[in-house]
Amino acid sequence: MRLFLLFLFSCTLFSQQNRKEMLYQEPFRPQFHYTPKNNWMNDPNGLVYYDSTYHMFYQYHPNSSVWGPMHWGHATSKDLIHWKEESIALYPDSLGKIFSGSAIVDKNNTAGFGKNAMVAVFTHHSDSLWIKGYRNTEVQSLAYSLDNGLNWKKYKNNPVIANSNEKDFRDPKVFWNEDKKIWNMVLSVGDRVKIFASDDLIDWKFKSDFKPKNDLNNLGVWECPDLFKMNYQGKEKWVLIISHGNNTPNGGSGTRYFIGNFDGETFTNEQASTWLDLGFDYYAGITFSNVPENKKILIAWMSNWLYAQKTPTEVWRSAMTLPRELLLDYDNTAHIYFLRQNIVNQFQEIKTKIKEYKNVRLPFRKENHNLMESDISFDSKGGDDIEITFSNELGESISLGITNNIFFFDRRKSGITDFDEKFSAEIQRIPLNDNIHKFQIVLDKSSCEILLNDGKYSITNLIFPTNKYTKLDIKGDEGLEVENLRVEKINSIWK
Ligand code: FRU
């Protein structure tokens, strides 16, 4: 009997050890992007910096690798790069499941939960909640934490914003409006954004609807808005980000932004909207609140509702983008403001430079290297058309580049693609208004993030190669010169 128990005990120890070693080593598991250990994740929620720690909450289903009853998962980081998964922050309750929302630090205790309480403002979603004779599928609620986001209490008089028969009424993003000394909230409702104001996070007054005239239509439901002030050479502009469930330029879900002014009640749009990312897999991106120096750092969910639940991973499903810092800039040719996004500086710290080539003779080939966890960057000049290919010995490859001012990305042979026909139905082609002279391509196990011209254009795409890409080829038209090619290895954040 004793021997048998000893045997059982060592088996358990062994399998635990084995599992630990396997964790974050599974096929397609990103090595430097956040993924939960297990199960399904979608939108980032409640991004907030507090007491030297970045908190990332997220839509999480703890019991399955497909979407289901939503909770708020939680991860923390000191540097936005290395993440620690914490215990689940918010569980469904009698008012419903916990959908997307935001978090802030209530420095002046306006809500009465305590000085510096971390307050989460989120959507309760339920199919059977009736308030004052109205069906309340979606209402806005509060929860707070007095111990750095570890333990949460729901506010006793939830919801703080009920709803009168709107089906889609969700994803509150709350921020402290320093100009007006009030809290503001943007909320996505059907095909518009509603703006609210409050002194105490509890009593909210509706102020206005935002829905631009002659807007693009058929973009599906509006989701996950964000609104914040930025500065360009002393001029202040407000940026309103919004995600759309369907029919964006990539065929599925995507994110765009407006630039204009905001007076605490009404957002006035001043120019045509711009897509924040031109790829397939960048959704529900929002910025952190309370970051030092008022930096705007955004994280998005790296997937697309078209096929998100079918991607070929089993233990976990979906990753976040790398955190990107947003900067406001002005295009003197197009006469519009735009956002640049660049991966946060802390990313440099997990890089090991493996090779730098000053002047590159085209066609260029680099072989026998693991290119899957790397950052490849270079400048180009003197020509327009370029094609960059990453491939492996199994014949799997992606190619991307520019022809006739059109950016293309081909993942039809990238690896596993047959989990959904929409995943690789066509080569993606995106007309660009600029000549591209700077490329940055960041490859992780199952993603490719591309930033062109110092983050003026961003293209984020998932890929599922069954073996690592080991060959890099660069071809260009006559006259094209490639300089300062850097191939940098990225270390795993999970070791
Ligand atoms: C966006 C979204 C949100 C919603 C959440 C539910 O991806 O549909 O609008 O709150 O996901 O998980």
397-438: pLDDT as tens digits: 999 999 999 999 999 999 999 999 999 988 999 999 899 999
226 has catalytic annotation: no
Separation of CA 85 and ligand 1 centre (Å): 21
Contact between 243 and 253 under an 8 Å Cβ cutoff? The reply is: yes
pLDDT in tens, 132-184: 777 778 999 999 999 999 999 999 999 999 987 888 999 999 999 999 999 99
Domains of the chain: 37-343 (2.115.10.20), 353-490 (2.60.120.560)
**Comparison of pLDDT for 318 and 219, the residue scoring more:** 318
Ligand 1 mean position, distance from CA 394 (Å):
37
Q: Hunting for tokens 């026909």 — which residue is that? A: 421
Q: What is the 3-state secondary structure (H, E, C) of 160-177?
A: CECCCCCCCEEEEEEEEE
For the residues 320-349, what does the mean pLDDT come to? 97
State the chain's mean pLDDT as an integer.
93
Nearest-atom number in ligand 1 for the CA of 99 is: 10
- Catalytic annotation, pick one of 43, 168, 277, 444: 43
Query: What is the C-alpha separation between 56 and 46, in angstroms, rounded?
Result: 6
Give, using CA atoms, the residue closest to atom 8 of ligand 1.
223
- Give me the percent of the chain exceeding a pLDDT of 70: 96
* Per-residue pLDDT, 405: 92
Q: What is the mean pLDDT of residues 15-31?
A: 75
Per residue in 286-334, pLDDT tens? 999 999 999 999 999 999 999 999 999 989 999 999 999 999 999 999 9
Give the sheet arrangement for strand 153-154, strand by strand.
Answer: 97-106, 117-125, 138-145, 153-154
Which of 40, 126, 173, 223 for a ligand 1 pocket mutation test, highest count of atoms within 8 Å of Cβ? 223
232-280 pLDDT, tens digit per residue, is 999 999 999 999 989 898 889 999 999 999 999 999 999 999 999 999 9
Among 170, 253, 321, residue to substitute to test ligand 1 (most atoms within 8 Å of Cβ):
170
pLDDT in tens, 104-125: 999 999 999 999 999 999 999 9
Cβ contact 318:311 at 8 Å: yes
**Residue 10: pLDDT over 60:** no
| C-alpha–C-alpha distance, residues 51 and 144, integer Å | 16
Residue 47 amino acid letter: L
Q: From ligand 1's centre to the CA of 464, what distance in Å?
A: 24
| Distance in Å from the first CA to the final CA of the chain | 39
CA of 223 to the centre of ligand 1 (A): 7
Contact residues of ligand 1, CB 6 A cut-off: 42-43, 59, 70, 99-100, 123, 170-171, 223-224, 284
Ligand 1 atom closest to Cα of residue 101: 10
State the pLDDT confidence band at 72, using cuts at 50, 70 and 90: very high
**Least confident segment among 24-38, 271-285, 346-360:** 346-360
- In angstroms, the CA 364 to CA 309 distance is 38
- Cα 396 to averaged position of ligand 1 atoms, centre (Å): 33
185 pLDDT higher than 60 = yes
* Ligand 1 closest atom vs CA 188: 9
Pairing of strands 205-210, 222-232: unpaired
Nearest-atom number in ligand 1 for the CA of 123 is 10
**213 CA from centroid of ligand 1 (Å):** 25
The CA R_g of the chain, rounded to the nearest whole Å, is 23
CA 88 and chain centroid, separation: 20
Mutate to test the pocket of ligand 1, among 102, 224, 303, 307 (most ligand atoms within 8 A of CB): 224
Calculate mean pLDDT across residues 197-224: 93
